[in-house]
Chains A and B, each alone.
Chain A
Amino acid sequence: DVKVTQSSRYLVKRTGEKVFLECVQDMDHENMFWYRQDPGLGLRLIYFSYDVKMKEKGDIPEGYSVSREKKERFSLILESASTNQTSMYLCASSWRARAEAFFGQGTRLTVV
């Protein structure tokens, strides 16, 4: 079975903290993605990666960075968390470009 696992389901962090969201996939997929989901806005792409150590900005990269040191793991980093980064974060992977993506269960991050 396809499996994308996000390290936390719920997370509460303070403003200014450095936050790491971890995502692991066990399908040997080349591509991995981070989206955020907000009410009324749908899903928006933050960053994606098509290979180890490769990354590309999505539509809303400001305030975020990513790391992909191993093929199966893709981390989203909030360098200095702010309240407007309170959101649901979804990680996904796909085996090639334009193929269907498989999603993790999501991390609901609250920044206080």
Chain B
Amino acid sequence: AQKVTQAQTEISVVEKEDVTLDCVYETRDTTYYLFWYKQPPSGELVFLIRRNSFDEQNEISGRYSWNFQKSTSSFNFTITASQVVDSAVYFCALSEYGSGGGADGLTFGKGTHLIIQP
């Protein structure tokens, strides 16, 4: 079985603060993929990042950074110098390799609602 836990249901910070969204996952596979998606108020999920289980290198993209630690089964997401436009629901997701064949799907966490106050 696979499971993704986003313990933070809602986070509220003031603009320009840094904020970290936590994601903890469970899987028995050694090969798997982790994802982050953003869902703004408009509703459409926007893909942010995909990381495979063999690549533990941290990634930075502008104000966004991701910290992947297999030892703690975590894939955390940090927004530096947050902006009001970052307000959204953020989802962490997991896909295992080779489970059941075919396309399978992503297992999502329940999401973290991030509120950036001006």
Interface residues of A (CB under 8 A from B): 30-33, 35, 40-45, 48-50, 54, 56, 58, 88, 90, 92, 94, 96-106
Q: B105, A100: Cβ atoms under 8 Å? A: no
Q: Can you report 23 A-B residue pairs in the complex whose CB atoms are below 8 A from each other?
A: A31-B103, A32-B103, A33-B105, A35-B105, A41-B110, A42-B109, A42-B110, A42-B111, A50-B103, A56-B100, A56-B102, A88-B43, A92-B45, A94-B103, A97-B102, A98-B104, A99-B50, A101-B105, A102-B47, A103-B37, A103-B45, A105-B42, A105-B44
Smallest Cβ-Cβ distance to B31: which chain A residue: A98
* Total contacting residues, chain B, CB less than 8 A: 25
Query: Taking CB as reference atom, which chain A residue is nearest B111?
Result: A42
Decide if B47 touches A40 in the complex (CB within 8 Å): no
Chain B residues positioned under 8 Å from A98 (CB to CB): 33, 95, 97, 104
Listed from nearest, the 8 A-B pairs whose CB atoms lie closest are: A31-B103, A50-B103, A42-B110, A45-B105, A103-B45, A50-B102, A43-B108, A106-B43
Minimal beta-carbon separation of B25 from chain A (angstroms): 13
Q: Nearest Cβ in chain A — how far from B34, in angstroms?
A: 10
Q: What total of A-B pairs shows CB separation below 8 Å?
A: 67
Does B91 belong to the interface (CB within 8 Å)?
yes
Select A97's contact among B45, B91, B103, beta carbons within 8 Å.
B103
The answer for the CA separation of A58 and B108 in the assembled complex, in Å, is 13
Q: How far is the CB of B101 from chain A (nearest CB, A)?
A: 8
**Residues on B close to A: CB < 8 A?**
33, 35, 37, 42-47, 50, 91, 93, 95, 97, 100, 102-111
The reply to whether B43 and A101 form a contact with Cβ atoms under 8 Å apart is no
Cα separation A43 to B102 with both chains bound (whole Å): 20
Excluding A58-B105, A90-B45, A98-B97, 5 further A-B contacts by CB distance (< 8 Å) are A42-B109, A48-B103, A48-B105, A97-B103, A106-B43
Q: Please give me the residue from chain B that is nearest to A103 by CB atom.
A: B45
CB closest chain-A residue, reference B100: A56
